[in-house]
Structure 1
């Protein structure tokens, strides 16, 4: 099987539209982002520890009149602004991610409601982490660019010369500590997410990565 890294390409917005297979890719992008919101809602309803960035989102939401989903959108936009000095180039999927994930999270939080009992909460956490890995692979595999937080990570790694792994660790430790200080939920789920999401996404990418017109690969304009 071809490695996903060999077929994920870095394209500008116009090249993304010209790269072909738009109905499949747009559908996959939209569904991936909606499922991503569902996965976050499940993890939060599990109440056993949120994903690293959601510890921050919860902390901010608890200190403001904003809903969790609105905070996710606001933080996404602020992170995108941080792309400017890093000379990162947002894609169509980047913008869609910034706007849709928060909305989907709020909708599913309203539909799910709080969970009672340890077993339902554990199942919600495990299901949420699994769905998050699949959803991440789906929206990345649609070839419309990374999400705001992933782009910040890769941009900082390129600018500082440090590894993506070390930059991601530093970012997530920072947002977790800040979110915890603000009252966000830190726990077993936070650790599970941090350990599992990379391998899950990597394993799922070959299923979801859409192969584009060979002429589009490797182009950066």
Structure 2
């Protein structure tokens, strides 16, 4: 395999692994039953109103956001961004069907599952972003709206997250302490993961070139 092909294979592997780790974190948070991340409050709330699965709603909402971004930006989406949301939804459905993350009753065990799930989500997000194959739909829409409105990225992201949380709560999604803990923890974990995986990608690229 050529050097270019080796680098691309490594990037794809990190991308897929990151999506799977993030999906596993989502399932851990769900099974902890102490609240889920704001967008998952919406996804789960919509499952209560329809016959569609959690993973399917992840895909529908994500593709809708990609479509909005494309219409506003007048550009075709990157294939990696579409794969991003489709695969996360698939992985979540697959993990839930396998039932490999059991629900527990003891509070201390549920707290551990919650924290572990948040760490997995942040770590996985850092992995797939570091691969530079395809950002998540929320990232693209946040950046575009911030550019068009002149508002800060933080403000736009807060509005999007708050809207998702409100709609999810109205749809009886699971809002609890874990929802607010995830708001505080996912970002720092993702930042640390992104820094780590960018360094690893550089090392892997150097190794492939040697």
Q: Is the 8 A contact 1:38 1:108 kept in 2?
A: yes
* Residues 52-79 of structure 1: CA deviation (Å, up to 9, x unaligned): 1000001101100011111111111111
CA RMSD across the alignment: 1.8
- Equivalent of 2:133 in 135, 144, 150: 144
**C-alpha separation in 2, matches of 1:115 and 1:157:** 41
- TM-score of the aligned structures, taking structure 1 as reference length: 0.83
**Unpaired runs of 5+ in structure 1?**
1-17, 214-221
- Equivalent of 2:37 in 51, 55, 64: 51
Q: Is the 8 A contact 1:37 1:105 kept in 2?
A: yes
Q: Is the 8 A contact 1:90 1:145 kept in 2?
A: no
- How far 1:20 moved relative to its partner? 7.1
Structure 1 runs, 4 residues or longer, greater than 4 Å off = none
Please state if 1:171 is matched with 2:171: no
Q: Which residue of 1 aligns with 2:188?
A: 199
- How far 1:119 moved relative to its partner? 1.8
- Equivalent of 1:79 in 56, 60, 65: 65
Please state if 1:188 is matched with 2:171: no
Give the structure with the higher percent helix: 2
**C-alpha separation in 2, matches of 1:35 and 1:151:** 21
Please state if 1:101 is matched with 2:88: yes
**C-alpha separation in 1, matches of 2:109 and 2:76:** 41
**C-alpha separation in 2, matches of 1:117 and 1:152:** 39
Q: Is the 8 A contact 1:52 1:176 kept in 2?
A: yes
